[in-house]
């Protein structure tokens, strides 16, 4: 860092605060953030692999599917992709590749091949995320300690292999089944890491260390070029490597309007938009269809397919596949129809349906995320006591978790009606957030503000319908 520290700071910058600045400039910053999660993941893996098979008595499944999943959902809004900063499954293969946890190393254990050009998008990780969710809906992965352990092991081995063959964190950017989900939901964050001023990057920086690295620091592990106008949180894992490597002290972490990326991206891509639409569909339309039709569909398919014992029950698995296919197809179809109507209502020949579809998909993320958070509320208030029970059981037989805990003594923190009230508030908050993002988005591709407002109505209607679907799905448990 050769220039005056703190030059060009504004009031929104967190990196102007002394402790934050010292932390992110510390070469070993990421190493120290990964260590606690590494210890936790090792314990989770051991207990899930060899511990009690009952899911609510197993430390690994409770921590993974309640604590981690819940923390992940909440973290998007607060700190974007910060899970990827502390995720040992991504970090350790990177250290292996560099032969160094943080210091500059001249050697590498990897082949450093470029990731195939055709796969430099979010299509494959979006498909893998659908498979990930299917493993839970179809096979009950979150109720199976062994499947949970298998998932962690497969991800860890996959990340290590990819890291040894391809350059940078190719697994985290292009292959992890969670990257499309985490990246698109991180657009809702109240933080962003961006260059301060375009001038030094354009005029005074031939080396582009934030992307290429230098003798002491590494370039962006996600292959982003912060100095070149990084404009969304989609791929930034907040590793702060670019803050350290920039010789002009030109990268800052700052507050912003929550979810600013949802409407402010100048070049939104179709692959990310489809990932967003798929996430919204998996959160809203698919659960509604599963609730309404899954048992009947399973009965119908049982006439054609041999029945088995769940989770290996072919009629049910086929029914889940059908529900996923119809639910995701319907979500994409409805979004396309709303974009078409918007285009027609805008009266502008310059607006394309594809441009509207792409922008609207991102703006709908709060509707989907609020439904996922509402699902989490139900778990949090019903199963909070399980965490203390499994922790006590783990300590009885650390780290194997083979001793059955005492029966859970905790009762529900809130009754079903009170929980539903909070869920309604969450869903309405998500709807309002999406409507605000859509309102800011609509005038973008349209010719003028009036036509933009006209084009807003069809997609606002879709956001409302998706929210009503979620309210109905959650409310059905009260009947
Ligand atoms: S952010 Fe820093 S390293 Fe990157 S191009 Fe700009 S001045 Fe150069
Ligand atoms: S842009 Fe900076 S903080 Fe974000 S992933 Fe790249 S190097 Fe890390």
Distance (Å, whole) CA 362 – CA 351: 17
Classify residue 403 as exposed, middle or buried by CB count within 10 Å of its CB (0-12, 13-18, 19+): middle
Burial call 228-265: b when 16+ CB within 10 Å, e when fewer: eebebbbbbbbbbbbbbbbbbbbbbbbeeebbbbbbbb
Within a domain: 400 = no
- Domain enclosing residue 456, as ranges: 270-382+411-478
- 151: number of Cβ within 10 Å: 19
The number of helices, as runs of H, and strands, as runs of E, in the chain is 21, 2
Which residue, 284, 456, 475, 442, is CA-closest to 370?
Answer: 284
pLDDT of residue 106: 85
Q: Is 279 in the pocket of ligand 1 (CB under 6 A)?
A: no
pLDDT given for residue 440 in this prediction: 87
Phi, psi of 365, rounded to the nearest 5 degrees: -55, -45
> Which of left, alpha, beta for 140 (phi over 0: left; psi -120 to 50: alpha)?
left
Looking at residue 6, its pLDDT comes to 43
| Contact between 171 and 163 (Cβ < 8 Å) | yes
3-state DSSP assignment of residue 105: coil
Please check whether residues 86 and 174 belong to one and the same domain. Answer: yes
Interval between CA 213 and ligand 1 midpoint (Å) = 10
Do residues 213 and 300 share a domain? Answer: no
Tens digit of pLDDT for each residue in 425-473? 999 999 999 999 998 886 544 456 677 677 889 999 999 999 999 999 9
* C-beta neighbour count of 13 within 10 angstroms: 17
Same domain flag for 303 and 202: no
The CA 116 to ligand 1 mean position distance, Å, reads 26
Q: Using CA atoms, how far apart are residues 352 and 335, in angstroms rounded to an integer?
A: 14
Pair 222, 166: CB distance under 8 Å? no
Q: How far apart are CA 397 and CA 79, in angstroms?
A: 35
- Three-state SS for 440? helix
Atom of ligand 1 nearest to the CA of 249: 2
Output the CA 28–ligand 2 centroid distance in Å: 15
Please tell me the pTM assigned to this model: 0.94
Residue owning tokens 């910058």: 13
In-domain check, residue 264: no
Name the residue with the closest Cα to ligand 1, atom 1.
Answer: 227
> Which of 258, 184, 263, 259 minimizes the C-alpha distance to 445?
263
Q: Which domain-ending residue is among 233, 259, 285?
A: 259
- For the chain, the first-to-last Cα distance in angstroms comes to 62
Length of the chain: 479
Cis peptide before 311 (omega within 30 of 0): yes
Looking at the fold, whether 236 and 163 belong to one and the same domain comes out as yes
Q: What is the pLDDT of residues 72-104, one digit of tens each?
A: 999 999 999 999 999 999 999 999 999 999 998
Residue of 1, 223, 248, 253 best suited for mutating to test ligand 1, as the one with most atoms within 8 Å of CB: 248
pLDDT of residue 426: 97
Q: Do 180 and 301 sit in the same domain of this protein?
A: no
Give the model confidence (pLDDT) of 328-342 as tens digits: 999 999 999 999 999
Q: End of a domain among 206, 233, 259? A: 259
Written as tens digits, the pLDDT of the chain (479 aa) is 333 444 445 779 999 999 999 999 999 999 999 999 999 999 999 999 999 998 888 999 999 999 999 999 999 999 999 999 999 999 999 999 999 999 988 889 999 999 999 999 999 999 999 999 999 999 999 999 999 999 999 999 999 999 999 999 999 999 999 999 999 999 999 999 999 999 999 999 999 999 999 999 999 999 999 999 899 999 999 999 999 999 999 999 999 999 999 999 999 999 999 999 999 999 999 999 999 999 999 999 999 999 998 888 999 999 999 999 999 999 999 999 999 999 898 887 778 999 999 999 999 999 999 999 999 988 888 777 788 889 988 999 999 999 987 665 556 778 889 999 999 999 999 999 999 999 888 654 445 667 767 788 999 999 999 999 999 999 997 76
Residue 355 maps to a domain = yes
Whether 110 is in the pocket of ligand 1, judged by its Cβ within 6 Å, is no
pLDDT given for residue 392 in this prediction: 87
Whether the CB-CB separation of 320 and 134 falls below 8 Å is answered with yes
Contact 123, 51 (CB under 8 A): no
Query: Best mutation site among 238, 249, 253 for ligand 2, i.e. most ligand atoms within 8 A of its Cβ?
Result: 238
| Number of domains, the chain | 2
Are 125 and 66 within one domain?
Answer: yes
Angle of CA points 78, 83, 87, to nearest 5°: 165
Q: Yes or no: say if 218 and 30 are a contact pair by the CB < 8 Å rule.
A: no
pLDDT of the residue at 324? 98
In three-state secondary structure terms, 444 is coil
Residue 402 lies in a domain: no
232 with 284, same domain? no
Nearest to 258 by CA among 233, 227, 228: 233
Per-residue model confidence (pLDDT) at position 380: 81
- Residue 289 placed within a domain: yes
List, in sequence order, every residue forming a beta bridge with 262; answer none if it has no partner: none
Q: Give dist(CA 100, CA 293) in Å, integer.
A: 53
Q: What is the pLDDT of residue 375?
A: 94
Say yes or no: 246 and 288 in one domain: no
Of 259, 282, 303, the position where a domain reaches its end is: 259
């Amino acid at each position: 860092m050769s220039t005056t520290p703190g030059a060009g700071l504004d009031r929104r910058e967190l990196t102007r605060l002394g402790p934050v600045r010292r932390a992110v400039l510390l070469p070993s910053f990421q190493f120290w953030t990964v260590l606690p999660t590494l210890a936790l993941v090792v314990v989770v893996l051991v207990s899930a692999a060899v511990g009690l098979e009952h899911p609510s008595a197993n430390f690994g499944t409770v921590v993974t599917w309640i604590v981690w999943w819940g923390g992940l959902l909440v973290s998007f809004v607060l700190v974007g992709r910060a899970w990827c900063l502390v995720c040992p499954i991504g970090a350790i293969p990177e250290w292996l590749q560099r032969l160094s946890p943080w210091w500059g190393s001249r050697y590498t254990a990897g082949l450093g091949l470029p990731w195939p050009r055709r796969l430099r998008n979010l299509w494959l990780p979006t498909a893998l995320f659908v498979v990930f969710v299917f493993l839970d809906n179809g096979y009950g992965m979150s109720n199976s300690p062994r499947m949970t352990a298998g998932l962690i092991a497969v991800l860890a081995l996959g990340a290590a292999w990819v890291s040894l063959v391809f350059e940078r964190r190719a697994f985290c950017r292009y292959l992890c089944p969670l990257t499309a989900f985490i990246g698109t939901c991180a657009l809702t964050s109240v933080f962003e890491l961006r260059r301060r001023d375009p001038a030094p990057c354009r005029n005074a920086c031939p080396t582009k260390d934030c992307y290429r690295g230098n003798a002491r620091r590494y370039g962006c592990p996600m292959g982003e070029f912060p100095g070149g106008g990084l404009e969304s949180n989609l791929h930034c894992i907040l590793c702060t490597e670019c803050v350290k490597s920039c010789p002009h002290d030109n990268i800052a972490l700052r507050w912003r309007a929550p979810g600013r990326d949802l409407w402010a991206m100048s070049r939104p891509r179709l692959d990310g938009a489809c990932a967003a639409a798929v996430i919204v569909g998996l959160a809203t339309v698919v659960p509604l269809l599963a609730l309404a039709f899954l048992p009947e569909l399973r009965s119908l398919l049982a006439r054609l397919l041999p029945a088995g014992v769940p989770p290996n029950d072919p009629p049910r698995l086929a029914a889940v596949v059908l529900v996923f296919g119809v639910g995701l197809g319907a979500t994409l179809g409805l979004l396309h129809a709303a974009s078409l109507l918007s285009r027609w209502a805008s009266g502008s020949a310059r607006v394309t349906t594809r441009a509207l579809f792409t922008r609207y998909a991102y703006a709908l993320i709060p509707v989907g995320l609020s439904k996922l958070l509402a699902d989490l509320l139900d778990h949090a208030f019903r199963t909070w006591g399980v965490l203390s029970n499994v922790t006590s059981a783990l300590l009885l037989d650390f780290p194997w978790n083979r001793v059955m805990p005492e029966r859970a003594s905790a009762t529900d923190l809130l009754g079903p009606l009170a929980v539903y009230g909070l869920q309604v508030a969450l869903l309405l908050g998500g709807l309002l957030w999406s409507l605000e993002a859509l309102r800011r988005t609509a005038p973008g591709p349209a010719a003028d503000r009036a036509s933009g407002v006209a084009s807003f109505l069809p997609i606002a209607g879709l956001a409302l319908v998706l929210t009503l679907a979620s309210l109905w799905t959650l409310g059905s448990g009260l009947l």
